[in-house]
Amino acid sequence: MVVAAVPYAVQILGGFIVQEGRFLCRISDKVKISQNRLQLLRGFLGEADARQQDVETVRIWVAEIRNAACDLEEMSQISTSYLIVI
């Protein structure tokens, strides 16, 4: 009886492993895309910092983008460390 259950269990677990692998590949791709966008944001912020001078709206806009970039960087680091652990 137990011997007959082993192939079924292997099939079920194999399916879960394949699904997890696909999920991690999608996450890995999204992390790479996010890292590329973060580099673009850093470049933008460098340019914007140089040009903001006395314009309050630009200063607020740069601060908001900088906060979003910091959040994205933190999520990227967490995702990368999660993928490394697995």
pLDDT range class, residue 27, cuts 50, 70, 90: confident
Amino acid at 59: R
Most confident of the ranges 21-35, 39-53, 60-74: 60-74
N- to C-terminal Cα distance for the chain? 34
- Determine the average pLDDT of the residues in 28-46: 79
Instruction: Round to whole Å and give the CA distance between 79 and 86.
Output: 11
Amino acid at 60: I
Instruction: Round to whole Å and give the CA distance between 17 and 24.
Output: 10
Angle at the Cα of 22 from the Cα atoms of 39 and 34, rounded to 5 degrees: 10
Cα torsion angle, 3, 12, 79, 38, sign: positive
pLDDT range class, residue 23, cuts 50, 70, 90: confident
pLDDT range class, residue 73, cuts 50, 70, 90: confident
